[in-house]
A and B are shown apart, each in its own frame.
Chain A
Amino acid sequence: MSQSETPASIRIPIAGLLAWLVPGLGHLYIGDRGRGLVFMITISATFWAGITVGGAGSTIDPQHRKLWFTAQLLTGAQSLVAVAIHQKAIASYPPSEQTPIIGHWLSIDVGTHYTGVAGLLNLLVILDAIFCADPATRNRLAAANSKGSAAT
């Protein structure tokens, strides 16, 4: 059974899951290659730029920045890699230091904003992938575009 013949009830959750796992992968799965690559490059670059600026030791902080961490988790596998780097960074500190601040606080803030915004942008991408995985919706969008009412 080819990908286009997959029922919408299977296609939609798979597209959503793939879009969460790797930004843009949901769009690649439904055949929207250009859009998928733009999402993948932009969101991954934003996320890793944030990690580079703030440092994984402090930018990813599941204990003290719970809401930001929730947003960061929306970038999927990349956030899990960053959590692993964070754990490694924390483990390199003595156990007596409960809240090690590794790096400059301003860099940490900038890094946290970058990674959090990358996650929130991926939420938009996940919703778009779920929306576009439904063939009826795609046909409706194509029809609206051919009438010259493309959304910009």
Chain B
Amino acid sequence: MAFLETSKLTKRFAGLLAVNHLDLTVNDGEVLGLIGPNGAGKTTVFNLIAGTIPATGGKVIFRGEDISRLPPYQVARRGIIRTFQLNTVFPDLSVTENVVLGSHLQARTGFWGELFKMPATRRSDREIAGRAEQLVASVGLLRQDMDKRQALASNLSYGQVKALTLAIALAADPKLLLLDEPMTGVGVRDVPRLLNLIREINGRGIAILLIEHNMKAAFEVCHRIVVMNHGDKIAEGTPAEVKDNPDVIEAYLTKDGHGA
């Protein structure tokens, strides 16, 4: 059975058909790449799956459950955690605080427990803080100078911000990660490190749906790739199959400049 499945997923913005009857399947444990020229509708697909915007038509099925009408926090509760192109971390909060926020769903106490500082709350907070420390280290963030974990997220370098983005998402204990262009803006030397990190996350049994503009990176890390153009799925297959598909070459050539 498919892990995540969209059937005839459609989004129309006024006159623009952003996503057109898209059938997409993510299998359990897989890294699926979603590529295509600018304006192909990739991020819209993420927004539809995550419940950020309502679909015009079609369905999103996750582990046998129809999640098409759920609000974003309910989708997150089911185990689908997304990242963003912008607003990837909480600025002006420390690195650790960022990761603690990612663990929101793991916290087992509510408002009254926190107001009255119940022992269960303190225990839960301690556990979460401990896990946050581990996660910060596990994404290779600031291993050299641990003091900086108290540093504000806004002071990190671009590559470090990307790593922190992943740490926040991992803290939410995802079953499926939706990564929106994790390589964009990352220095050339950091790309292999991020790829390794994505592979390692996948190795923990987390399925990944990945939007990426860096073709070389996408072909390297994805098991399968879906290519979109103007809201339509134009190709699907292994990286090797997709690379030589004439429709894909055509789509990229007419848009010029996004191939790598």
- A and B from one complex: no
Residues of A within 8 A of B (CB): none
